[in-house]
Amino acid sequence: MSRPRIAVHKFASCDGCQLAFLNAGESLVTLAQRVDILHFAEAGWIDQFAEVDIAFVEGSISTEHDIERIRAVRASARYLVTLGVCATAGGLQALRNGVKESASWVADIYASPQYIECLPESRPISAHVKVDLEIWGCPVTTEQVLGATASLLNGVTPANPGEPVCVECKRRGYTCVAVTQNAPCMGPVTRTGCGALCPGVGRACYGCFGPAELPNAAAMAEHFEQSGLSRRDVARRFLFITSTAQPFADIGQRYKEQDD
Residues 160-195: pLDDT tens digits?
Answer: 889 999 999 999 999 999 999 999 999 999 999 999
Do 106 and 211 reside in the same domain of the chain? no
Q: What is the mean pLDDT of residues 83-94?
A: 93
Do 204 and 81 reside in the same domain of the chain? no
What is the identity of the amino acid at 193? G
Confidence at residue 29, expressed as pLDDT on a 0 to 100 scale: 86
Confidence at residue 46, expressed as pLDDT on a 0 to 100 scale: 93
Q: Which of 153, 182, 203 is the last residue of a domain?
A: 153
Do 35 and 102 reside in the same domain of the chain? yes
Do 179 and 77 reside in the same domain of the chain? no
Q: Which residues contact 152 (CB under 8 A, 6 or more apart)?
A: 53, 54, 79, 81, 133, 158
Phi/psi at 65 (5° precision): -65, -35
Q: Tell me, yes or no, whether 160 lies in a domain.
A: no
The string of DSSP letters for 170-184 reads HHHTPPPHHHHS---
Confidence at residue 100, expressed as pLDDT on a 0 to 100 scale: 66
Q: Is 141 left (phi over 0), alpha (psi -120 to 50) or beta?
A: beta
Q: Does pTM surpass 0.75?
A: yes
Q: Tell me, yes or no, whether 158 lies in a domain.
A: no
Q: What is the mean pLDDT of residues 224-240?
A: 94
Q: How confident is the model at residue 102 (pLDDT cuts 50, 70, 90)?
A: low
Domain of residue 214, residue span: 165-259
Q: What is the mean pLDDT of residues 242-251?
A: 94
In three-state secondary structure terms, 131 is coil
Confidence at residue 101, expressed as pLDDT on a 0 to 100 scale: 65
Task: Report H helices in 6-63.
Answer: 19-22, 26-34
Do 83 and 197 reside in the same domain of the chain? no
Do 72 and 140 reside in the same domain of the chain? yes
Q: Tell me, yes or no, whether 201 lies in a domain.
A: yes
Angle at 99 between CA 234 and CA 86, to 5 degrees: 75
Q: Tell me, yes or no, whether 159 lies in a domain.
A: no
Do 138 and 175 reside in the same domain of the chain? no
Do 137 and 17 reside in the same domain of the chain? yes
Number of domains in the chain: 2
Q: Which of 118, 153, 188 is the last residue of a domain?
A: 153
Do 121 and 145 reside in the same domain of the chain? yes
Tell me the torsion sign for CA atoms 26, 19, 188, 127: negative
Confidence at residue 103, expressed as pLDDT on a 0 to 100 scale: 66
